[in-house]
């Protein structure tokens, strides 16, 4: 397991500065005041004014800092030393009050002792985690009684299809159900900077079904408030998706045919 997680950490550490320089993250417009959060999570989570919020797997903190701009008292956590270093630098440069903690998500309860009104995470986080039961226990650990957990994420069903550059239609390529042994990937660059050449190119990811997510949350003692599924993606997940005027990515000619995003809200 350490071999897998160490490889993933090296992958993310190497890509932080490439991501910060990419059009995908568009840091310059963020510095000018852009809120990076999608309307979906802002609407479903509601006002965060004056509320404490823990953002798990925050990368280099743009969404964390966006919640701060919306009035939350924020803490971001990520296992990448490079990501947390950049997040802290951005918070200082922009004079945004925010706290950032560097830790593997499973180790976080041992290094951070606050509790929060909201625990939040989003888009592309679950596949990096080998154990959702422990993940949900960490979430429950950091929630105040009555506190809210919210996730907006790539739908597990959408992960089964071929996403290579030459894919032309929906073709089942990856498993839907969880297996203890991860999938191994090897490629230069990343989703945000495909053109860059990199040294740490091997990653390991785990499949989790939608029932895995729900059951983990319930087993951690949280009460499900809602589960929503949506027929669009937050990025160009397959090469044949088309961007709509709403900023989401849709299946051309097949809108509404498969779920590509889900959101879940639960309370402690």
Instruction: Say if residue 214's pLDDT is above 70.
Output: yes
pLDDT at 252: 84
Instruction: Say if residue 213's pLDDT is above 70.
Output: yes
Report the length, in residues, of the chain.
Answer: 268
Instruction: Say if residue 1's pLDDT is above 70.
Output: no
pLDDT at 253: 81
pLDDT at 254: 81
Q: Which CATH fold would you assign to the domain 2-267?
A: Rossmann fold (3.40.50)
Q: In 3-state terms, the chain is what percent helix, strand and coil (to 5)?
A: 35, 25, 40
What pLDDT digit, counting tens, does each position of 40-75 carry? 999 999 999 999 999 999 999 999 999 999 999 999
Helical segments of 52-107, H only: 62-69, 81-94
CA distances to 22, 86, 156 from 73, in Å: 28, 19, 31
Judged on CB neighbours under 10 Å (0-12, 13-18, 19+), 76 is buried
Do 232 and 257 form a contact (C-beta atoms < 8 A)? no
What pLDDT digit, counting tens, does each position of 219-252 carry? 999 999 999 999 999 999 999 999 999 999 999 8
255 confidence band (pLDDT: 50, 70, 90): confident
Residue 221: Cβ within 10 Å count: 12
Region 131-154: mean pLDDT is 98
Do 61 and 82 form a contact (C-beta atoms < 8 A)? no
- Write down the domain spans for the chain: 2-267
């Amino acid at each position: 397991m350490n071999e897998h997680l160490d490889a993933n950490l090296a992958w993310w550490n190497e890509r932080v500065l490439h991501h910060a320089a990419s059009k995908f993250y568009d840091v310059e417009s963020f510095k000018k005041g852009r809120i990076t959060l999608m309307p979906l999570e802002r609407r479903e989570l509601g006002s965060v004014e004056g509320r404490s919020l823990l953002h798990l797997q925050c990368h280099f903190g743009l969404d964390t800092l966006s919640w701060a701009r919306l009035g939350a008292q924020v803490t971001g956590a990520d296992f990448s030393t490079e990501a947390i270093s950049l997040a802290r630098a951005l918070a200082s440069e922009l004079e945004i009050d925010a706290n950032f903690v560097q830790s593997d998500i499973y180790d976080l309860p041992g290094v951070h002792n606050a509790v929060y009104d909201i625990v939040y995470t989003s888009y592309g986080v679950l596949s990096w985690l080998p154990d959702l039961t422990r993940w949900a226990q960490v979430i429950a650990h950091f929630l105040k009684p009555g506190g809210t957990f919210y996730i907006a994420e790539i739908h597990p069903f959408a992960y089964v299809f071929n996403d290579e550059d030459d894919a032309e239609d929906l073709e089942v390529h990856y498993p839907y159900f969880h297996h203890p042994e991860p999938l191994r990937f090897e490629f230069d660059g990343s989703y945000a900077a495909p053109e860059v050449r990199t040294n740490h190119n091997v990653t390991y990811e785990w499949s989790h079904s939608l029932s895995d997510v729900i059951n983990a949350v319930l087993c951690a003692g949280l009460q499900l408030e809602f589960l929503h599924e949506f027929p669009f993606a937050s990025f160009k997940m397959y090469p044949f998706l088309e961007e709509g005027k709403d900023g989401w990515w849709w299946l051309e000619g097949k809108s509404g045919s498969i779920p590509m995003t889900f959101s879940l809200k639960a309370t402690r």
